[in-house]
Each structure stands twice: as structure tokens, then as C-alpha cells.
Amino acid sequence: MTHLLHLDSSARRTSFSRELTARYAATWQGTRTYRDLAADPVPVIGEAWTEICDALLTAGITDPAHYTDVVGTPAHKQAWAIVEPLLAELLAADVVLIGAPMYNFSIPAALKTWIDQVTFPRMSLRGKAFVIAGARGGTYAPGTPRAPFDHHERYLRDFVAGHYDVDDVRFVHAELTNALVDPHLAAREGERAASREAALKAL
């Protein structure tokens, strides 16, 4: 049976990205692990984590099953106690579903912290699929004036494909969400609603 790792990272308990991931998860035909990175934040990496990475590089270890070979000091063990359950969830997943709103042209700090904790040198996740559901206050679609400021999808796509060696990465975005609250975008409410409906349908 296929397994889904479902991550949400929006600081809002009711958010567009959470609505999108919930739609996808509701159709999932398999087992699922859920983690709310905003409600239960992952600690930032510390020096012991960097020492583990350095030791993996020095030893040439790329198989996650042997990562613990370099976990030796009490500080390393303390750092690994944080990493171990997060990494196990990631490795067990066939599909990783990420709710990722755009914050300040990029991703939420809560999501970046998770990425930092579970990412190690030359780590391949080939064979897994990633589905990323985004929400943006404006529009950053190709050809729009703000497209060059999209360090949200671009970062996640480059990272997942480039570092994790994953070729199945799919993005669905609800755009112009600020049309609900920003008077300057009020005239684009129809576009916002259409973008949301299209995203829900795609998921």
C-alpha cells in the first residue's frame, strides 16, 4: 500500500494551502502520516548537525541506513534524536505532499527548518513523488510582472529536483489570495476565485 507524507507549513490555521492539501489528502488511497510544521515547529539545526554532515562527507556515506555510523558524541546523539523521526517519515513516503504558502517571495521558515533537518549530502530520493500546494497573495505566474520575484516555486523545484534527484515534482497554486483583504487587489477577486477553483480541481 502506498504511503503519503502530508506536511502543512502555513501559520494560518485556516489557509488556502491547507485547503489544497486537505483536498489532495481526502482522495488518497493508502496510508498517511501528517505533520503540522507551523503548530509543532521543528528545531533549527545546530553545530552537532553540521558535524554529522561533515562526517558523512568524509566517510563517503550516502545510504541513509548508515547515517548513524557517524553519530558518536552525546551532542550528535541529541541532534540525531530530532532528525531520526523526521527522516524516517520522509523515507517511508511514496508521495510527499507539502502545503507551502509564499512568504516574502519564498517559503515559510517552518518548512525551511524541516528541509534543513532531513537533508544530507548526496541524498537521493529518486522514485518518490512530490506534490506542492502553494498559495500566493499576488500572482507570480510566468509572464506576469512579478514572475522574477518567485523564489518560492523556483526554490522548491530546484531543491527537490536538484538535491533529492526527484523527477516527479508537481505544483498547484492558488494565486491572488490577498484580493480578499487588500483594497488594491479587490478588482481581481474574480481571478482569485478562479485560481482557487482551478487549484482545487487539479488536486
The response to whether 130 counts as a known ligand-binding position is no
3-state helix/strand/coil string of 90-123: HHHCCEEEEEEECECCECCHHHHHHHHHHCCCCC
Instruction: Please name which of 11, 33, 163, 47 lies closest in space to residue 85, comparing C-alpha atoms.
Output: 33
The response to whether 102 counts as a known ligand-binding position is yes
The response to whether 124 counts as a known ligand-binding position is no
Instruction: Please name which of 72, 120, 69, 86 lies closest in space to residue 7, comparing C-alpha atoms.
Output: 86
The response to whether 123 counts as a known ligand-binding position is no
The response to whether 24 counts as a known ligand-binding position is no
Query: How would you list the strands of the sheet with 31-36, edge to edge?
Result: 31-36, 3-8, 95-101, 129-135, 168-174
The response to whether 10 counts as a known ligand-binding position is yes
The response to whether 106 counts as a known ligand-binding position is no
The response to whether 149 counts as a known ligand-binding position is no
Q: Which residues are annotated as a binding site for FMN?
A: 10, 15-17, 102-105
Q: Which residues are annotated as a binding site?
A: 10, 15-17, 102-105
